[in-house]
Amino acid sequence: MANTYVCPQCNAVVAAPVKDVKRKGVLLCAAGHKVHQSGLSFPGAFIAGLFVGFVVWIITWYVPGWVQQLLSIAMLFRLASIVYWLVLVVRGVAWISKPNPTRALGASSLGMGLGSILSFGLTGLLYYMEFHKLAG
């Protein structure tokens, strides 16, 4: 399903989407609706989130204090992505009730949103404790 575009409004796979002349990076179906691509699955998003979180956390052990503090702040700023992840979840719930191929797109969207939120929740806690220790 990766690299396939789906129009949830037409509920169809769009083989050759066209670029929107007004909005950069937006692809449209033949009827002019915005098309979407399925992203990572739940385990994919969860593992990717955990991996990034833990790798940066391990790096913070070997760098000077100020770099460590900057990295911790940067990782806490990933919290801003929660808005995007929540959009993925809401979309996923809306699309999953429809027939395929929109249903598959919804499942992917929901999985990616929940996987990202869960992995951030777990690693974010580490950074919060680390930052608290440095600040306090």
Provide the binding-site residues for Zn ion, judged by CB under 5 A.
Answer: 7, 9-10, 29, 31, 33
Which of residues 31 and 59 has its CB atom nearest to Zn ion in the complex? 31
Distance CA 96, CA 109 (A): 9
CB 4 within 8 A of CB 38: yes
**What are the CA-CA distances from residue 116 to residues 32, 83, 101 (Å)?**
30, 11, 23
Distance CA 63, CA 23 (A): 42
Q: How far is the CB of 15 from Zn ion (least distance, A)?
A: 13
Q: How far is the CB of 6 from Zn ion (least distance, A)?
A: 9
Q: How far is the CB of 33 from Zn ion (least distance, A)?
A: 3
Which of residues 27 and 29 has its CB atom nearest to Zn ion in the complex? 29
What SS3 class is residue 64? coil
Tokens of 133: 């220790």
Which of residues 17 and 124 has its CB atom nearest to Zn ion in the complex? 17
**What are the CA-CA distances from residue 84 to residues 25, 103, 129 (Å)?**
17, 20, 25
Which of residues 12 and 47 has its CB atom nearest to Zn ion in the complex? 12
Q: How far is the CB of 98 from Zn ion (least distance, A)?
A: 13
